[in-house]
Structure 1
Amino acid sequence: MIRIGTSGWRYPEWRDGFYHDVPQKRWLGHLAGHVGTIEVNGSFYRLQPPSNYQKWAAETPDDFLFAVKGSRLVTHHKRLRHVEEALKTFTSSLALGAKQGPILWQLPSTLRFDPATLQDFLTLLPPGRHAVEPRHESFRTDAYFSLLHAHNVAHVVSDAPTFPCIEAVTADFAYVRLHGHDELYISSYSDEQLDEWARKIDDWDRDTFVYFDNTMHGAAPYNALSLMERTTSPARR
C-alpha cells in the first residue's frame, strides 16, 4: 500500500490552480478525489473537536486515510516529557474511525536526541501507527533507530534545505515528508527528483505514506499526482 498526498488542504494559494472553480467548502473532497491520503496539520496548533474529524471523514472516499499531526503541546512545549495527560487528551479527540492513519510527531529543531526521554515517550504511545520527525542532527544515530524499531515506530524521512534529511526505515511502514528540496515549503520537485523518490519507495517494499509539504506556491498537489504515477502500486490513481 503506497499512499501519496499533501500536508493539509486549506491553502488560498491553490485557489486559482488546483482548486480552480471549486468552492472552498468542497476543497477537501476535491483533493481527496485525487489522492489517497492527507495530513491533518491543524491538530498541531490546537485541539480539534471530534466533530471536525467526523466531518472530514464524511467528506472523503471510503478507502481514504488521514495522517494526523500530533499536538505541539506534547512535542514543542513539553518536549516529550511528562506528557501522559496531554497525550490522552489529544488521542481521545480523534474520531476518524477506519480512516485513521498514522500519527505524526514532529519534533522541534532545538530538541536533541535523548535516549531516556524518547524511550519514555514511545512507551506511552497508544496502539496504532506512529511516526517521529526529528529536526536535529543528533538523531542520526543507531541508538535512535533501534529505539524506534523496538516500538515499530517509523522515522520520518524528511527532505528540506534547512534541517537534516536522515534516511532510515525503522518500522513495518515508511513515512516521508517532502518540504521542498531547494526552498522550504515552496520549491517544486523536478521529474528527476520524483523519479528518485519513486525508486526509494519501491526499494523499501512496505506500506508507505508520502506527504508533499511544498504548499506555498501550489506545487504540492501536482507533485503528489506525479509521484503517484511513478510508483508501482499507489493506493489511488
Structure 2
Amino acid sequence: MIYIGVTGWGDHYSLYPAHIKPKDKLPEYSSHFPVVEVDASFYAVQPVRNALKWVSETPADFRFVVKAYQGMTGHQRGEENPFETKKEMFQAFKESLRPYQEADKLAMVLFQFPPWFDCRKKNVQYLRFCKQMMGDIPLALEFRNQTWFGEKYYSDTLTFAKQEGWIHVIADEPQAGEKSIPIVPEITNGNITLIRMHGRNVHGWNKPKDANWREVRYLYRYNKEELTEWKNRILALRERTEDVIILFNNNSGGDAAGNAKELQKMLGIEYEGLSPRQLDLF
C-alpha cells in the first residue's frame, strides 16, 4: 500500500475548518491522510499520555512515524540533556512508544542524523548501538551528510543498512553540497520504505541558522513535473516493497498538504477507513 501524509498535524491550515481548536486537529487530519510524522518527539521525549491520546483519536488503520529524540541522534551539542546516560534516554523513548505499539499503529521510528554526522567508523558503530538499544522496533535511517552516498561508500552504506535491519529513507532535498544527500531510490527492507519530501529550496537549505532559518529551508512547492517524476519513481519502488510511506515536509509556506493531495490524486489513490470529516459551517 502507498501511504501519503505530512510531517506534524498542527500547521497545515488548508486542511482544517475555521476556528478549529488545536486539540481537534489530529482527528480532523486523520480524515484526510492515513499516516503522519510525529515531530514533537524530536524536541522532547513525549509522555505516554500524549501517545495514548493520539492513538485514541485516529482510525484503526492509521499509522505514525515517530521521530527519534534529538539527544539520540546527536543534534544536541552542548545543550542540557535531561537524562544521565544514553541507556536511560533510549529506555525512556522506548517507553513513550508503547501506546503506538499496543494499538499496532507504529509504522517506524525515524532516526534523522545531523549534517555533521559523516561516514566514519565511530558513527557506524553508533548506528549499531542505536539498533541494539531499540531492539526489534522498525527503524528508518536518514542522513544529511553527503559522504554516506559518495562514490566511495554508496554501496557499502546501503549494504550496511540492509544487513543491520535499517529502513533506508529516500530523501528529496536541495542538492546543496556536503550538507545534503542525493535521491537514492533504493530498497533495504522489503516490507516498508519511507520517502521524505523536503522541497528543493537550494538557497534556504544552507542558510545560516538564525531566528527564521527553518521557515526559509522548507519554503517550497513542488510543481506538476516534479510530482510526476516522483509518481513514476514511487510506482517502481512499489514493485520491490510491500508498503511505501511518503511524507511531505515542505510546509514553511503551507504547501505540504496541498502537494500531498496532488500526489494522491496523480496516483489515483482513494483511502478508506479515514475519520469522519468535520463540516465548516461558519
Q: Same fold (TM over 0.5)?
A: yes
1:150 counterpart (163, 174, 178): 163
Whether 1:18 aligns to 2:15 is yes
Aligned to 1:215: 251
User: Percent identity between the aligned chains?
Assistant: 29
Q: Which amino acid aligns with 2:104?
A: A
Structure 1 position 235, deviation (Å) = 5.3
The two structures have a TM-score, normalised by structure 1, of 0.89
Instruction: Indicate yes or no: 2:5 matched with 1:5.
Output: yes
- Structure 1 counterpart of 2:119, one-letter code: F
Query: CA, structure 1 residues 84+143, in 2 after alignment: closer, same or farther (shift >3 Å)?
Result: farther
- Write the distance in 1 (CA, Å) between the matches of 2:234 and 2:269: 10
Cα distance, 1:129 vs structure 2: 1.7
Aligned to 1:40: 38
Per-residue deviation, 1:6: 0.3
Residue deviations 1:27-86 (CA, integer Å, cap 9, x gap)? 11111111110000000000111110111111111210011000111102579xx84332
TM-superposed deviation, 1:125: 2.6
Superposition RMSD in Å: 2.1
Q: 1:210 to 1:230 in 2, by over 3 A?
A: same
Stretch deviating more after TM superposition (94-103 or 159-168): 159-168
The within-5 A match list for 1:190-209 is 190-205=223-238, 206=241, 207-209=243-245
- Structure 1 230/83 Cα, relative in aligned 2: closer, same or farther at 3 Å? farther
8 Å CA contact 1:119, 1:147 repeated in 2:
no
Which one is further off, 179-188 or 217-226?
179-188
- For residues 194 and 170 of structure 1, the distance between their equivalents in structure 2, rounded to whole angstroms, comes to 23
Shift of the 113–125 alpha-carbon distance from structure 1 to 2, 3 Å rule, reads farther
The alignment status of 1:126 with 2:135, answered yes or no, reads yes
Amino acid at match of 2:259: N
CA distance in 2, matches of 1:90, 1:193: 36
The residue type paired with residue 220 of structure 1 is: A
Deviation at 1:166, TM superposition (A): 3.8
Q: Secondary structure at the match of 2:115?
A: coil
> Which residue of the partner structure matches residue 92 of structure 1?
95
Partner SS for 1:221: helix
- Report whether the alignment pairs 1:224 with 2:260: yes
Residues 221 and 77 of structure 1: CA distance in aligned 2, closer, same or farther (over 3 Å)? closer
CA distance in 2, matches of 1:27, 1:78: 30
Structure 1 residue aligned with 2:53: 55
Tell me what 2:27 maps to.
29
TM-score scaled by length of structure 2: 0.76
Structure ID, larger Rg: 2
Equivalent in the alignment of 1:73: 71
Structure-2 separation of matches of 1:63 and 1:76: 32
Please name the residue that 2:208 is paired with: none
1:119 positional shift:
2.9
Amino acid at match of 1:219: D
For residues 28 and 101 of structure 1, the distance between their equivalents in structure 2, rounded to whole angstroms, comes to: 17
Point out 4+ residue stretches in structure 1 off by more than 4 angstroms: 232-237
Q: Give 3-state SS (helix, strand or coil) of 1:23's partner.
A: coil
Alignment partner of 1:165 out of 182, 187, 191? 182
